[in-house]
Amino acid sequence: MADRYELPNKILGIGRGHPLIGPLYTKMTTPRGRNINLKSAREIFGSLSQTSQFKVALHMTSSSGGTDKLSDWLTKAGITNDIAQNTYYDFMCSEAVIPGATLNTVEDKGGRQGIVETMPTQRVFSPVSLTFYVDNEYKILRLFEEWMNFINPVYGGSGAYDQRGIGFGDSKNRNDFHRMRYPDEYKRIISIVKFERNFAVNPAIDGDLQSVPSVTYRLLEAYPSSLTAIPLTYEGSTITKCTVEFTYSRYVYEHHRGELINLDEALRKTR
């Protein structure tokens, strides 16, 4: 009987239409052979990704030159006039999702007799929902309220209402109406970073992603399209959260290899 470690071609599979399955199990320790070296179960399942290691960056920076109308609007509302507070907004995100995409397909019937083939025609990017903790000054909630107010401002008899930091509280006339702004004025890039704890260089100070093994998803031309209702109750007090759905044109992702900690070497140093 041939040694299974002497048959790498059967393990890897060769030939189109005949890909082989490979080993049906793996050992806790690394099985070593002369021609192939499979990882152990401890190595495979000991380095799985954790859902709790992520960060969302809204990139809400104040505008000093007056070229960014959205930033000016939020600054006048008293939301983004503190640079440090703008960074805190990113850490208020309690739940996020890695964006997904779908390929719309079309069926080709009759191109080959008896065969129905499907081919992709369009790539569709699904909206992304982000959930944030609401602070006791309601700034994170007002951030998205005012962002949507900027997209769809209220107009009165003398034109658009100015930003006074009260959320259009003075626009209650029956003849008031809404208008949409140009998309370039309210769309932003939003970043979702997925990382792990086993990085060798601490990125907490400057946020250098090049030193951290991570993947960053950039939502291009994103804007809040839905702010879900927030339930309130006297039965059991919990932290208030708001969920915002973002629509965007497409996303790209950036993979940073970074520098990983060698767990075996770290354990040896602690002994």
Please say whether the beta carbons of 131 and 141 come within 8 A.
no
Quick one: pLDDT at residue 114? 76
Angle value at C-alpha 183, between 181 and 189, nearest 5 degrees: 130
Nearest CA among 35, 30, 25 for reference residue 3: 35
Looking up tokens 């079309």 gives 106
Q: What is the pLDDT of residues 7-20, one digit of tens each?
A: 455 555 555 667 77
Sequence letter at residue 25: Y
> Looking at the predicted structure, is the pLDDT value of residue 25 above 90?
no
Confidence band, pLDDT 50/70/90 cuts, at residue 2: very low
pLDDT of residue 49: 83
Q: How many CA atoms lie within 13 A of 89 on its CB side?
A: 24
Which pLDDT value is given to residue 32? 54
- Kindly state the percentage of the chain with pLDDT values over 90: 35
Helix and strand totals (H; E) in the chain = 7, 12
Q: What DSSP string describes 154-167?
A: EEETTEEPP--SSS
At 99 the pLDDT is 94
Decide if 199 contacts 221 (C-beta within 8 A): no
Segment 63-86, tens digit of pLDDT: 444 458 888 888 888 888 888 778
**Amino acid (1-letter code) at residue 226:** S
User: What's phi and psi for 111, nearest 5 deg?
Assistant: -65, -35
Tens digit of each residue's pLDDT (9 = 90 or more) over 242-252: 999 999 999 99
d(CA 141, CA 153): 17
**Average pLDDT for residues 196-207, to the nearest whole number?**
63
Per DSSP bridges, beta strands 214-227 and 250-256 are: antiparallel
H-type alpha helices, 83-233 = 83-91, 139-151, 183-186
Q: What is the pLDDT of residues 97-139, one digit of tens each?
A: 999 989 999 988 877 777 888 889 999 999 999 999 999 999 9
Does 210 have pLDDT greater than 80?
no
Q: How far apart are CA 157 and CA 151, in angstroms?
A: 19
For the chain, where are the alpha helices, taking DSSP H only?
Answer: 8-12, 41-45, 69-76, 83-91, 139-151, 183-186, 263-270
Indicate whether 266 pLDDT > 50.
Answer: no
